[in-house]
Amino acid sequence: MRSVLVAALVARMTAAGGAGAGVEEESRRQQAGNTWEDVRKHFSTLRNEISTLESEFRDAEARHKLAAERRKQELERERRGL
């Protein structure tokens, strides 16, 4: 599951043209050298992005399961002739 989330994060970052507005802005501000605080902030931003992706993934998974259940019920009704 984690590899799927990482792949989704990479795809989302690529589609957005980068790591996201917050990460890119932080990168522009602090190009010279990264302190531990900068690295901590960067990883915090990435953790937030991953958390958002996990939430979106769970929501999409729930929608997919619900749609599959509805299709199954509809096919069952058609099979019974209702």
pLDDT in tens, 28-66: 665 556 788 888 888 999 999 999 999 999 999 999 999
How high is the pLDDT of residue 15? 66
Contact at 8 Å (CB) between 27 and 15?
no
Single-letter amino acid code for the residue at 73: Q
Overall pTM surpassing 0.95 (yes/no): no
Helix, strand, coil percent content, the chain, rounded in steps of 5: 85, 0, 15
Model confidence at 2: pLDDT above 80: no
